[in-house]
């Protein structure tokens, strides 16, 4: 679809839009990759936070959905999703009791890296007579959550295995420190190196007589290597479905489906246009959003409600009332700023989807 086809006068700006043909193609392409691999795809919901997209991913063949928070899991359960991995530690009485509220409605799995948390989860699952799946998270170099590979992971897995109403399913290890590296052989070697910790830990578990059925991890920036690695059983990629300007450099085999339509509100001087999408509509932790359809226009910075755009060449023609398309630099945090996203197909608004898990960070 031509980008011009996304200029829909009926949509007020700033508006978050998805090119549905591209979304569908990305979902099919990622699923096709996994159809020839032993590992399965469990797409991460934290990118789009939008149940209709999760249902498209499930209909295409995903094994279940990954999410980051109990709040996201609540939205998924409400949307009828039956197999959910919260790829994070769920800690504290309030969150655990909310988790237990979901246990009868879906097969739920959480990550753990702490013995006291394992005991709390077990006691809570016993109290509601439910069964909770558990992955022991291993830090494979990211320096975020997770126990060290090998013995510490085996010790925690043994505790999970002995704990009532917990089902030790296996390991989680996320190579998040590598996903945004430029593609190439040296990145692939680093990813394999990180995954070798999971392989060694799985072997250590098996030597200790603890069966390890799942090894879950991976993201859009590493799916080719992680998804083909023999130790992995499921991949948690999220961004591939809608993409963003950062991933466009790293995984160009997926096309950009996510755009923000920005209204031009002022031309204060030559070489400068001001748009109406600021930090409340676009995020900048991965850099500035990229202008998609006005050659010579570059987003220089964002104020709260304003886009400060430098103009050169043909883009000098922009006038107040015009619209431009920009590609968010980070889809996951951008979705979280909107209550709804419009689905566009062949120049028409086909649907308006509520971003139901927007703000569900608790």
Residues found near ligand PLP in the complex (CB under 6 A): 44, 47, 87, 174, 176, 179, 219-221, 236-239
Radius of gyration, CA atoms only, the chain: 22
**In terms of CB distance, is 165 or 333 closer to ligand PLP?**
333
Instruction: Specify the residue, 43 or 275, whose C-beta has the smaller distance to ligand PLP.
Output: 43
Min dist. Cβ of residue 218 to ligand PLP (A):
7
> Which of 11, 179 has the CB closer to ligand PLP?
179
- Are 291 and 298 in contact, with CB atoms under 8 Å apart? yes
DSSP assignment of 253-317: TSPP-EEEEEEEEEEEETTEEEES--TTT---TT-PPEESSSTT-EEEEE-SS-EEEE--GGGGG
Nearer to ligand PLP, 174 or 259 (CB): 174
Total residue count of the chain as it appears in this document: 362
**15 conformational bin, left if phi > 0, alpha if psi -120 to 50, beta if neither:** beta
Least distance from ligand PLP to the Cβ atom of residue 187, Å: 14
Residue whose C-beta lies closest to ligand PLP: 219
Minimal distance in Å, beta carbon 221 to ligand PLP?
Answer: 6
Q: CB-wise, 215 or 264, nearer to ligand PLP?
A: 215
Could you tell me the smallest distance in angstroms from the CB atom of residue 329 to ligand PLP?
A: 13
Q: What are the DSSP calls for 87-136, one per residue?
A: EEE--SHHHHHHHHHHTTTSEEEEEE--HHHHHHHHHHHHHTT--EEEEE
Shortest reach from residue 188's CB to ligand PLP, in Å: 16
- N-terminal to C-terminal alpha carbon distance within the chain: 38
Q: How far is the CB of 243 from ligand PLP (least distance, A)?
A: 10
Q: List Cβ neighbours of 208 (8 Å cut-off, separation of 6 or more).
A: 154, 157, 158
β-partners of residue 66 are 44, 85
Nearest CB to ligand PLP, comparing residues 256 and 307: 256
């Amino acid at each position: 679809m031509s980008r011009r086809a996304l200029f829909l006068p009926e949509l007020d700006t700033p508006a978050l839009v998805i090119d549905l043909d591209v979304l569908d193609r990305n979902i099919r392409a990622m699923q096709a990759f996994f159809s020839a691999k032993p590992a399965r795809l469990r797409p991460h919901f934290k990118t789009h936070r939008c149940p209709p997209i999760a249902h498209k991913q499930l209909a295409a063949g995903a094994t279940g959905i990954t999410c980051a928070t109990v709040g996201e899991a609540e939205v998924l359960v409400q949307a009828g999703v039956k197999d959910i991995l919260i790829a994070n530690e769920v800690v504290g009485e309030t969150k655990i009791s909310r988790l237990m509220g979901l246990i009868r409605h879906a097969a739920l799995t959480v990550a753990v890296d702490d013995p006291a948390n394992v005991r709390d989860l077990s006691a809570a699952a016993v109290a509601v007579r439910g069964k909770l799946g558990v992955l022991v998270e291993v830090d494979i170099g990211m320096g975020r959550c997770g126990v060290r590979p090998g013995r510490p992971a085996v010790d925690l897995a043994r505790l999970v295995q002995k704990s009532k109403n917990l089902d030790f399913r296996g390991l989680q290890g996320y190579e998040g420190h590598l996903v945004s590296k430029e593609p190439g052989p040296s990145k692939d070697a680093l990813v394999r190196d990180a995954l070798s910790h999971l392989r060694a830990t799985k072997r250590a578990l098996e030597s200790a007589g603890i069966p390890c059925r799942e090894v879950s991890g991976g993201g859009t920036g590493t799916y080719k290597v992680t998804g083909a690695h023999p130790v992995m059983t499921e991949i948690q990629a999220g961004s591939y479905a809608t993409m963003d300007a950062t991933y466009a450099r790293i995984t160009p085999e997926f096309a950009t489906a996510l755009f923000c339509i920005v209204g031009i509100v002022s031309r204060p001087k030559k070489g400068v246009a001001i748009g109406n999408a600021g930090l409340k509509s676009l995020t900048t932790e991965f850099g500035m959003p990229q202008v998609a359809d006005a050659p010579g226009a570059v987003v220089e910075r964002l104020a709260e409600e304003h886009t400060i755009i430098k103009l050169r060449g043909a883009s000098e023609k922009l006038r107040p009332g015009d619209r431009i398309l920009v590609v968010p630099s980070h889809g996951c945090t951008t979705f979280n700023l909107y209550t709804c996203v419009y689905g566009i197909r062949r120049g028409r608004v086909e649907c308006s989807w509520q971003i139901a898990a927007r703000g569900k960070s608790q």
